[in-house]
Amino acid sequence: MERKNATELTEVVVTGLTYQPEWQIPLFVLFLFIYIFTIMGNLGLIAVIWNDPHLHTPMYLFLGSLACVDTWLSSTVVPKMLVNIFTKNKRISLSECIVQFFSFGVSATTECFLLPTMSYDRYVAICNPLLYPAIMTNRLCMRMLISSLTGGLLHALLHTCFLFRLTFCNSNIIHQFYCDIMPLFKISCTDPSINVLVIFIFSGSIQVFTILIILVSYTLVLFTILRKKSAQGIRKAFSTCGAHLLSVSLYYGTLLFMYVRPGSTRADDQDMMDSLFYTVIIPFLNPIIYSLRNKKVINSLTIMLKRNI
């Protein structure tokens, strides 16, 4: 009977954010605004880069790819969250839940690989400016982008495949606003220790490896900047790299707490706040962080808007 009940679970309940009833409309309006701004900001950034030939360089190619991934990540999570704020029926099929996790896993891991790629590009541009065109060729850039996406696909596929070894019978309630893998473990009647170990090894390795690349790249950049005599060059380099470091710090900070410490006893509300940060807030902030501190993007956007008025 226990085995039968375990295999018959085909739906889960995603509880969503915990809030008082009077907060329903304000929260819906807030997250709808954030989502619309996220989509418009990231797609607008892609459009600006696409339409301006002066921005067809590796730096902006990677920036446009990051905007695309942020759009994907936000669209995987936020629309369903907005629906759940108003609907009383928060049930979704288990297969739909796994698909949502897979989509989230691909986009989140791809962003993990894109960020060190961007830091390497800045390292070459600042530390080896004369060799930059020869090193950062279009072929190398496309290989980096394809490798980032392939790494994201394989990593998400690995954890999704391991989910199929589990059966779910303890409960069908997921205390989260989207289908994440850690809440799924909590409702499994199969021991998820192997899955947790796989997450710790692979997710931990990816995050440590990519963070090391970023730290090494920007340490070398910092030394190069400090050796420069030009105050204007120093300001320009710090402006470009500072925006990237801010985005990296925000993104990796919450991911490290969520997936590299899977065994820690954390409250569902705390996990939900961390998840909210890197699935909703960071895709919302990235267009602001990268655009407002980049004069070329602002100038290109101004020209494009004047042309269309």
CATH number at residue 145: 1.20.1070.10
The overall average pLDDT reported for the chain is 84
Residue 271 falls inside a structural domain? yes
Residue 248 falls inside a structural domain? yes
Residue 265's pLDDT is: 46
Give the pLDDT confidence of 26-77 residue by residue, as tens digits.
889 999 999 999 999 999 999 999 988 888 999 999 999 999 999 999 999 9
CA angle (63, 233, 49) in 5-degree steps? 20
Give the pLDDT confidence of 226-273 residue by residue, as tens digits.
777 566 666 766 666 776 777 787 777 766 666 555 444 455 667 777
Residue 77's pLDDT is: 94
| H or E element that contains 14 | strand 11-14
Domains contained in the chain, number? 1
Taking the CA atoms of residue 123, residue 126, residue 129 and residue 133 in that order, the dihedral angle to the nearest 10 degrees is 50
| CA 20 and chain centroid, separation | 29
Range of the domain at 87: 2-304
Instruction: Give the position of tokens 């905007």.
Output: 67
Residue 224 falls inside a structural domain? yes
Give the pLDDT confidence of 171-183 residue by residue, as tens digits.
788 888 899 888 8
Residue 287 falls inside a structural domain? yes
Q: Using CB atoms within 10 Å of the CB of residue 69, give its burial: 0 to 12 exposed, 13 to 18 middle, 19+ buried.
A: buried
Residue 309 falls inside a structural domain? no
Residue 265 falls inside a structural domain? yes
DSSP conformational letter for 40: H
